[in-house]
């Protein structure tokens, strides 16, 4: 079961990094739209919107990375955090759904309670 916890932690970290990269990419795209428009006011507004979008996505990505790190370190709090973000990931079809199902499958087993000291 330890291999599942390691792999699950890695998957949560990768998923969080993907969310962050998507957010940063969308931030750059929105800023680029402002540049292409040629209007200074549009550039300022789109750059601000892109920055806000990037920050929001970073806030959403952080719990996944934290949960993944904690799972790999076998921290007791990581099991609960991973189940919370796994439940949120269920709504993101298809990758998030697979991550959420795998999260619950691995962390609701009795072996998980022993491994995480719960």
- Averaged pLDDT for residues 96-110: 95
Pick the closest to residue 23 from 63, 1, 51, 46 (CA basis): 51
Asked if residue 118 has pLDDT above 80, the reply is: no
pLDDT in tens, 74-88: 999 999 999 999 999
Gap between the Cα atoms of 16 and 71, Å rounded: 14
pLDDT in tens, 32-72: 887 888 888 888 888 899 889 999 999 999 999 999 999 99
Q: What percent of the chain has pLDDT over 90?
A: 67
Asked if residue 108 has pLDDT above 90, the reply is: yes
- Tell me what pLDDT residue 16 has: 97
Q: Which one-letter DSSP state was computed for residue 29?
A: H
Asked if residue 21 has pLDDT above 90, the reply is: yes
54 in Cβ contact with 24 (< 8 Å): yes
Instruction: Please give the mean pLDDT across all residues of the chain.
Output: 92
Gap between the Cα atoms of 9 and 103, Å rounded: 9
């Amino acid at each position: 079961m330890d291999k599942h916890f390691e792999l699950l932690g890695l998957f949560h970290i990768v998923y969080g990094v993907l969310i962050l990269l998507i957010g940063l990419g969308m931030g750059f795209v929105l800023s680029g739209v402002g540049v292409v428009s040629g209007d200074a006011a549009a550039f300022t507004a789109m750059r601000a919107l892109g920055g806000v979008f990037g920050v929001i996505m970073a806030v959403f990505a952080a719990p996944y990375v934290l949960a993944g790190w904690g799972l790999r370190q076998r921290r007791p709090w990581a099991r609960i955090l991973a189940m919370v973000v796994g439940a949120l990931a269920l709504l993101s079809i298809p990758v998030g759904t697979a991550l959420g199902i795998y999260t619950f499958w691995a962390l609701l087993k009795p072996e998980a309670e022993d491994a995480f000291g719960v």
